[in-house]
Every structure is written in structure tokens, then in C-alpha cells.
């Protein structure tokens, strides 16, 4: 956990006071809706189809049990008893009333939570690996850097009115669990030839109407220069990013128009003039942040304790264990993923009762800590392996132990036309139908890792371009149609998906996904060749033939 | 449109010169950028102060030769969510060491005051009377600042080090 101090608390109190004043000015008519819009957006407040929506930042996806309980309280007191976890490791409440928003924010501020910069044309919540600090393959805890950057960009006087939103992610493992290359700016920690740690800097990734995979503009940025380099990128973007067309305003367009190499040169020039100034990081400042990350008092345990071995003879436990439990860097511990994708239910939703229970389970078994992943699942990052049987029972009882993590039914979906005023088509019911078709875990297990991503419009909040199977809702003559792509991926080998052919109507989407799954089973060379690997080997044609042969 | 300078509403002593209009010999004038650049050296020889209105898509380094003689630079917010002038302001203050008046003009609302002050602005053409009256109170709203800018405010990182001394990071994060 990261420990907030007086400075963080003071800022949140000042922020809530300011927002209370802004809401009062809006309610009295002193502010027009247009003037209020940018202000509310900077506090995470959207106007949706039916009501205001409040999006709360969960920095680098780390939550304490106390914070999760407070989210449950907010869900009950101001909303309809549930919240929705997003692909940016945030949580959204969909039914909040404007007049109550300042009170909800004050309740959140009491536990260090807020909606600052979860929307608007500013630097958004910094995301990272949901396994940060516990993953066996990481070089260092990327959250220290995410927190440093978070602080630096919070209410930044120069960069709070950018051309468009700006998303930053930080990773520190070989395996990318943070979808780095679909970010406006991403940092990947690595070690150079001299054994020093630094960052590869990537810019200009992003999905939406014009998807791009981020390009590397600096292979090795020393740690001390992280803030000055980001400042240089943001300064160029703030001045030269397009503001005449909202769809061309993201930094990816600027990078694309100039060319990554030229953009990198311009960043370099700006950076050279500020790198040795006030933004050069003092090691003491980095250390200060690092010391406020609290790590559990692990006890010395060994792997595969007898309690676990015994429980593995139980079929249901064994299936869940194989699917949802992963190795931890500390022997005797495990990382446990909680599926928020129960068959036939909305993806990423969590009820207040579930939140309370998960907080309780985290207190008992995971050093009071919970993580949120960009796949819209939760994680208990540090569970003793001997406790796994009990943890499974507790999670199963509240329906967050569906053994479909990374399976075809572990779908990432945006809220779609059920909530969102931008959407052209529904996303949630499509996901529900697909998860029903693949409800048999033997079938989904056999299909292996297979990511399905659904967006209800071109803005791509469901990251459809990088789904192994990507589904995009479009509107044709007043009806919902869906374009299907395959072969996208958001990991260290990030790629955009390939369109398989003409869009299909709402009723046929799940059939197409079944066709693709069957085609894959026929095409794969061996049982452990993943869908994405088969696609890479055989290309789109055989899949296309299967899907359109009978259509 | 009230002008706030030094935290108070004051009368604007500068006369805005429209494009093509004659420039009087007497009195402080605020001149459009193109006009200023066409005649910069001559204008700056006037006895009375000269200021320039600088659009937000023009590189401020073009002003570098004139900065020590300019009394006022007015940077423009065509709409308040267009934030280009924040970068221009910081570059003028922090890179080019401009010390004259730096005025925010255009759609300037109270919710920008703290950002504007931190970026180096010291005068504000405020759209609404109520916002201008609320200037002092709004400017004091925040006491916590994370970024070092040219405004000299103490950053949180520095305050923490002052408060707690230099920390010793844990050599190991696993308590065996």
C-alpha cells in the first residue's frame, strides 16, 4: 500500500471545497453547462444517458480494504448499490445526482480517493501492472514511478487544458500486463549495458477512430530524467497538438503527422533545455516516495503446502486454482485473480455487498490489499498458498471465483448503449451472450488464452482493436451491427486486429465468435498453440472463410 | 471586462489598438502581434509603455529581442479549455526571463486563476465581474503544489524532505 500524508489529504480537502463551490455555481445558473463541463470532467463527472456518472481514480490499481469498504458505502448511499471497474483501473458509479456529488467526493476523500483527472483533457490516472510489487518477473516496483508521475501531473498548471486526454502507463516486467503500447506515453523499465536502470519511452499509442501502436522515441532514459522528459513531451503536445478536430487531437496524430523520429528529435531538443533544471530527480525524492509504499510482513513459507495439495483433489477447487492462481515472488504465496465476469452478468460490475466481502477476505488473507486490473478483474496480490482453499470458498460464495480468467468469457467490454451517450450499439448484452455460449469451462479451458474485447462505438473504450477477437458496435440504418477483427493484442507484441469481413447483425455476433473458436480448434497445430499464435501462422483467410461460408 | 492586477480590480491603463488604427503618441498602448513585429523598434522608442497581444499559436521566442523593453505581453485564451498560453507563459518567464506584465486575456474564468498564477501570469482580463471579485479567495484555494514552476512556491517533494529529512530506503522489502 501507498501511505498518503498530510499534503495529499490537504489537497483532497481543498479540491472537494472547490468542487462544492462549482456545483453551487452551476445549480444557481452562474455557470453555464458548457463552462461547468470542463470543471466537472476534471473531477471525473460525466453526463451519461440517464444520469451523471462519477469515475474514481484508483492510482496504479492499488486499493486498501478500507478504501474498498468506502466504495461500497458510496455505492449504497449515492448510487444503486454497485460500481463498475474500468479498463483504466478506475471505478465508475452510474447513477449519482449532481447535488450529492460533493458529499460523495467528501466521503471518498476521507480515505484518500478522488475523481481528479479521471476525465477531461488532462493527464489521466497513471496505470501499471496489477501485479506490481508481487510479480516474479519484475525488475522493480513500477508503482513508485507511477506515483512520482501521478504527483507531478496532479493539477499541473501548464498541462490541465491539453488538446485531448493523455494516458500514461508504467511497466517494469518483460511481460507487459499494462498494455503499454496503446498509451499516449508509456515507460518500460529495463537495465542498460552498464547495469543502470532506466526506461524505454514510447509515445503515440491509442485506439479510438484512428488506432496506433506506440513508437519508441527513446531506448534508455535515465531514472533521474523521467519528469523532465515527460514535461518535454507534454509541452510539445500542448503547443502543437491539433485542437481543430476532436478526433485528431490525441498525441498519436501529432506523432504520426510529424513521424516518430522527427517528434523524438523535437522532444530531445526541448528536453535538453530543461533536463538539468528543477525537474532532475533527486534520489532522496525517489526514496521518499518508495519508503511510503508499504510491503507485507511476509512469513517464511514454502511452496505447495500440504493444505493446498490436499485441496487440489477437489475438482472445482483444482479447476479454479489452475485458472485463477499465479506464482508470487515470495515463496509460499500466490497471486489470486477474482473474476468479475460471471456467466451471463455484466462485465466488471461489483455490488456493494461483494465489495464489503472482498475487503473482509483481503483483511484476513491478503494483507488488506486489493488490486484492480485493466481486464476489469480484481486481484488479491498476496495470499498464503495454505489459505487458498479457504479463500476459494469465500470467493465462490460471492460469485467472484468463476474460473474463466483469460478465457473467451473473460471479456473486456465498455458500458455501451445501456449507459453511454456516445455509444452506437450495446456491448454488455453481447458479452453476456458470448459468456453463456462458453459457460462450460472444459470448453473454454480447451480454447486457452483468448481475449475478447467489445466496444459499443468507435471510441474503443473496450479496446476492441487489441482483442484477440475484437468486436465493434456500429449503427447501420438505425440497427446495431458489429465489425469483427481478429489477431489484435495489447501485450509486449502489441498489434492491431485485422477485419474479417462485413459487419454482422446483433443476433449473429455470438455465432460468429463460436465459428471463430471452432475454426481455431481445427486450425491449431498443437493443443498449446494459442488462438493468437494460430492467427499469426495462418492469417485471417481461413477464419474468414469459416465465418462467411454460410452467411 | 474587469482587469485584475496585484490581486485587485484596477483600471486598465493600456489602450488597445485595433488593426489599422493609428497609434497615439501619448499613453500606454497594447498592439496586435503583426503590427508590433512590423514596427517593433520604432514602437519601442515611444516614451509611453508598449504592450503586445500575442496569439497562442505563435512562437514566443520571436519576442526575445524585445522582452526587456516590452511593458506588457497579453496571451490569449480564445476559449478557456485551450491551454496553449500556459506553455507560452512559462517559456516567457522561465526560459526568456521576461519580467514585465504578463496578462491573461480572452475567456478567463476564476477556475483558471491558480493555474495562471503558477504559470507566471500577474494580470487577468476576467470575463465575469463575480469572478474578478472572487480573485483573492480563489487564488488562495490551494496550498499544496507538486510541480516546480517559476512562481517559487515550495513543492510537496521539497516540503516532505524538509519535514522528514532524507529517507533511507529499505534495503529489502521482504521480511523473512
- pLDDT digits 0-9 by tens, A329-368: 999 999 999 999 999 888 899 999 999 999 999 999 999 9
What percent of chain A stands above pLDDT 70? 100
On whether any CB of chain A is under 8 Å from the CB of B168, the answer is yes
Restricting to A residues 206-235, those with a Cβ less than 8 Å away from any Cβ of B are 235
Whether residues A223 and A316 fall in one domain = no
Which chain B residue's Cα is nearest to A10?
Answer: B144
The answer to whether the CB of A291 falls within 8 A of the CB of B167 is yes
Q: What CA–CA distances, in Å, run from A230 to A116, A348, A381, B59?
A: 20, 31, 30, 21
Structural domains of chain A, count: 4
Mutate which: B77, B84, B153, B162, vs A, most A CBs within 10 A:
B84
Q: Which residues in chain A have their CB less than 8 angstroms from residue B97's CB?
A: none
Whether residues A148 and A75 fall in one domain = no
Final residue in a domain of this structure, among A75, A109, A143: A109
What is the maximum alpha-carbon separation in chain B? 81
Whether residues A266 and A321 fall in one domain = no
Task: Please count the other Cβ atoms lying within 10 Å of the Cβ belonging to residue A209.
Answer: 13
Nearest Cα to Cα of residue B5 among B149, B128, B121: B121
Mutate which: B56, B60, B83, vs A, most A CBs within 10 A:
B83
Restricting to A residues 12-71, those with a Cβ less than 8 Å away from any Cβ of B are 14, 17-18, 22, 30, 35, 38-39
Whether residues A56 and A199 fall in one domain = no
Q: How far is A377 from chain B (nearest CA, A)?
A: 26
What percent of chain A stands above pLDDT 90? 90
A182 found inside a domain: yes
Q: Which residues in chain B have their CB less than 8 angstroms from residue A273's CB?
A: 95
Asked if B164 and A288 come within 8 Å (Cβ–Cβ), the reply is yes
On whether any CB of chain B is under 8 Å from the CB of A382, the answer is no
On whether any CB of chain A is under 8 Å from the CB of B171, the answer is no
A320 found inside a domain: yes
Sign of the torsion formed by the C-alpha atoms of A503, A506, A508 and A513: positive
Asked if B175 and A298 come within 8 Å (Cβ–Cβ), the reply is yes
Residue A523 has pLDDT above 50, yes or no: yes
Which residues form the domain of A428?
412-548
Q: Which residues in chain B have their CB less than 8 angstroms from residue A5's CB?
A: 160
Which chain A residue's Cα is nearest to B167?
Answer: A288
Which chain B residue's Cα is nearest to A15?
Answer: B142
pLDDT of amino acid A50: 79
Whether residues A257 and A206 fall in one domain = yes
Mean pLDDT of A46-65: 90
Nearest Cα to Cα of residue A129 among A189, A67, A68: A189
Mean pLDDT of A477-496: 95
ipTM exceeding 0.85, yes/no: yes
- pLDDT digits 0-9 by tens, B76-94: 999 999 999 999 999 999 9
Whether residues A425 and A454 fall in one domain = yes
d(CA A119, CA A331): 40
Whether residues A265 and A356 fall in one domain = no
Asked if A157 and B157 come within 8 Å (Cβ–Cβ), the reply is no
Q: What is the pTM of this model?
A: 0.94
Q: How far is A162 from chain B (nearest CA, A)?
A: 6
Residue A297 has pLDDT above 70, yes or no: yes
Final residue in a domain of this structure, among A339, A369, A397: A397
Whether residues A150 and A261 fall in one domain = yes
Domains along the sequence of chain B with CATH: 3-142 (3.20.20.70)
A39 found inside a domain: yes
Q: Which residues in chain B have their CB less than 8 angstroms from residue A158's CB?
A: 83, 86-87, 90, 115, 119, 147, 149
**Which of A26-35, A75-84, A277-286, B65-74 is predicted with the least confidence, judged by mean pLDDT?**
A26-35
Q: How far is A260 from chain B (nearest CA, A)?
A: 22
A525 found inside a domain: yes
A91 found inside a domain: yes
Restricting to B residues 6-35, those with a Cβ less than 8 Å away from any Cβ of A are none
On whether any CB of chain A is under 8 Å from the CB of B162, the answer is no
- pLDDT digits 0-9 by tens, A95-136: 899 999 999 999 999 999 999 999 999 999 899 999 999 999
> Where do we find the cell 460490475?
A349
A404 found inside a domain: no
On whether any CB of chain A is under 8 Å from the CB of B176, the answer is yes
Residues 6+ apart with CB under 8 A from B143: A10, A14
d(CA A243, CA A162): 9
Please list the residues that pair with B5 across neighbouring strands. Answer: B8, B123
Check residue A4 and report its DSSP letter.
P
Nearest Cα to Cα of residue A485 among A445, A444, A438, A543: A543
Q: A33-42, A285-294, B70-79: which has the highest mean pLDDT?
A: B70-79
pLDDT of amino acid B168: 61
On whether any CB of chain B is under 8 Å from the CB of A276, the answer is no
On whether any CB of chain A is under 8 Å from the CB of B80, the answer is yes
Whether residues A378 and A425 fall in one domain = no
A200 found inside a domain: yes
Whether residues A77 and A201 fall in one domain = no
Burial degree of B163 (CB within 10 A; 0-12, 13-18, 19+): exposed
Whether residues A276 and A369 fall in one domain = no
Residue A484 has pLDDT above 50, yes or no: yes
Final residue in a domain of this structure, among A333, A365, A397: A397
Residue A415 has pLDDT above 50, yes or no: yes
CATH (domain of A380): 3.90.480.20
Per 3-state DSSP, chain A is made up of helix, strand and coil in percentages (nearest 5) of: 40, 20, 40
CATH (domain of A275): 3.30.413.10
Nearest Cα to Cα of residue A535 among A471, A472, A486: A486
Mutate which: B60, B156, B176, vs A, most A CBs within 10 A:
B156
A369 found inside a domain: yes
Whether residues A139 and A105 fall in one domain = no
Amino acid at each position: 500500500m501507498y501511505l498518503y500524508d498530510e499534503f495529499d489529504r490537504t489537497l483532497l480537502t481543498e479540491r472537494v471545497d472547490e468542487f462544492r463551490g462549482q456545483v453551487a455555481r452551476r445549480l444557481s445558473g452562474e455557470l453555464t453547462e458548457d463552462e461547468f463541463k470542463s470543471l466537472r470532467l476534471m473531477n471525473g463527472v460525466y453526463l451519461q444517458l440517464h444520469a451523471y456518472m462519477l469515475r474514481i481514480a484508483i492510482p496504479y490499481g492499488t486499493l486498501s480494504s478500507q478504501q474498498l469498504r468506502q466504495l461500497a458505502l458510496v455505492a449504497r448511499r449515492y448510487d444503486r448499490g454497485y460500481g463498475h471497474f474500468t479498463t483504466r483501473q478506475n471505478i465508475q458509479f452510474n447513477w449519482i445526482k449532481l447535488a450529492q456529488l460533493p458529499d460523495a467526493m467528501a466521503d471518498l476523500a476521507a480515505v484518500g480517493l478522488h475523481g481528479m483527472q479521471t476525465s477531461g483533457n488532462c493527464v489521466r490516472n497513471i496505470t501499471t501492472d496489477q501485479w506490481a510489487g508481487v510479480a516474479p518477473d519484475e525488475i522493480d516496483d513500477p508503482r513508485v514511478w507511477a506515483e512520482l508521475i501521478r504527483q507531478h501531473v496532479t493539477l499541473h498548471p501548464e498541462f490541465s487544458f491539453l488538446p485531448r486526454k493523455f494516458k500514461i502507463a508504467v511497466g517494469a516486467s518483460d511481460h507487459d500486463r499494462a498494455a503499454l503500447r496503446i498509451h499516449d506515453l508509456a515507460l518500460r523499465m529495463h537495465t542498460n549495458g552498464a547495469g543502470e536502470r532506466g526506461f524505454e519511452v514510447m509515445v503515440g499509442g491509442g485506439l479510438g477512430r484512428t488506432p496506433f501502436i506506440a513508437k519508441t522515441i527513446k531506448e534508455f532514459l535515465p531514472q533521474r530524467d523521467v519528469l523532465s522528459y515527460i514535461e518535454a513531451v507534454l509541452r510539445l503536445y500542448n503547443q502543437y497538438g491539433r485542437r481543430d478536430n476532436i478526433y485528431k487531437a490525441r498525441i498519436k496524430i501529432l506523432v504520426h503527422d510529424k513521424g516518430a523520429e522527427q517528434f523524438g528529435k523535437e522532444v530531445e531538443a526541448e528536453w535538453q533545455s530543461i533536463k538539468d533544471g528543477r525537474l532532475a530527480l533527486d534520489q532522496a525524492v525517489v526514496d521518499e516516495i518508495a519508503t511510503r509504499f508499504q510491503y507485507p510482513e511476509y512469513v517464511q513459507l514454502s511452496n505447495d503446502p500440504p493444505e493446498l495439495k490436499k485441496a487440489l483433489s477437489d475438482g472445482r477447487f483444482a479447476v479454479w486454482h489452475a485458472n485463477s492462481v499465479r506464482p508470487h515472488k515470495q515463496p509460499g504465496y500466490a497471486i489470486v485473480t477474482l473474476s468479475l465476469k460471471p456467466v451471463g452478468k455484466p462485465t466488471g460490475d461489483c455490488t456493494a455487498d461483494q465489495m464489503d466481502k472482498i475487503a473482509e477476505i483481503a483483511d484476513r488473507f491478503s494483507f488488506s490489499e486489493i488490486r484492480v486490473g485493466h481486464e476489469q478483474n480484481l486481484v488479491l496480490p498476496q495470499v498464503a498458498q495454505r489459505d487458498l482453499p479457504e479463500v476459494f470458498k469465500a470467493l465462490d460464495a460471492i460469485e467472484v471465483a468463476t474460473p474463466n480468467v483469460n478465457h473467451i468469457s473473460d471479456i473486456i467490454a465498455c458500458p455501451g448503449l445501456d449507459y453511454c451517450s456516445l455509444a452506437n450499439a450495446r456491448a454488455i448484452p453481447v458479452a453476456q451472450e458470448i459468456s453463456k455460449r462458453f459457460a462450460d469451462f472444459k470448453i473454454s479451458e480447451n480454447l486457452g488464452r483468448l481475449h475478447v474485447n467489445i466496444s459499443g462505438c468507435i471510441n474503443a473504450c473496450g479496446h476492441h482493436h487489441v482483442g484477440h477477437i475484437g468486436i465493434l458496435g456500429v449503427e447501420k440504418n438505425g440497427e446495431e451491427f458489429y465489425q469483427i477483427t481478429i489477431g489484435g493484442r495489447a501485450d509486449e507484441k502489441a498489434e492491431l486486429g485485422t477485419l474479417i469481413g462485413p459487419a454482422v447483425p446483433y443476433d449473429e455476433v455470438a455465432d460468429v465468435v463460436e465459428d471463430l473458436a471452432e475454426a481455431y480448434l481445427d486450425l491449431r497445430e498443437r493443443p498449446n498453440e494459442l488462438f493468437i499464435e494460430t492467427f499469426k501462422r495462418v492469417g485471417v483467410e481461413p477464419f474468414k472463410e469459416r465465418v462467411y461460408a454460410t452467411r | 471586462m474587469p482587469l485584475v492586477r496585484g490581486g485587485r480590480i484596477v483600471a486598465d491603463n493600456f489602450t488597445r489598438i485595433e488593426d489599422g488604427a493609428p497609434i497615439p503618441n501619448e499613453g500606454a498602448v497594447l498592439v496586435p502581434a503583426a503590427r508590433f513585429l512590423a514596427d517593433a523598434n520604432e514602437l519601442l522608442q515611444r516614451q509611453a509603455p508598449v504592450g503586445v497581444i500575442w496569439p497562442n499559436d505563435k512562437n514566443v521566442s520571436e519576442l526575445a529581442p524585445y522582452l526587456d523593453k516590452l511593458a506588457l505581453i497579453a496571451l490569449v485564451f480564445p476559449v478557456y479549455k485551450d491551454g496553449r498560453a500556459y506553455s507560452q507563459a512559462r517559456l516567457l518567464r522561465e526560459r526568456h526571463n521576461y519580467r514585465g506584465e504578463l496578462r491573461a486575456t480572452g475567456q478567463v474564468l476564476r477556475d483558471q486563476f491558480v493555474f495562471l498564477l503558477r504559470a507566471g501570469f500577474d494580470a487577468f482580463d476576467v470575463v465575469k465581474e463575480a469572478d474578478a471579485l472572487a480573485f483573492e479567495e480563489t487564488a488562495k484555494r490551494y496550498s499544496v503544489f507538486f510541480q516546480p514552476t517559476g512562481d517559487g512556491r515550495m513543492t510537496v517533494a521539497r516540503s516532505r524532505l524538509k519535514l522528514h529529512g532524507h529517507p533511507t530506503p529499505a534495503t529489502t522489502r521482504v521480511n523473512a
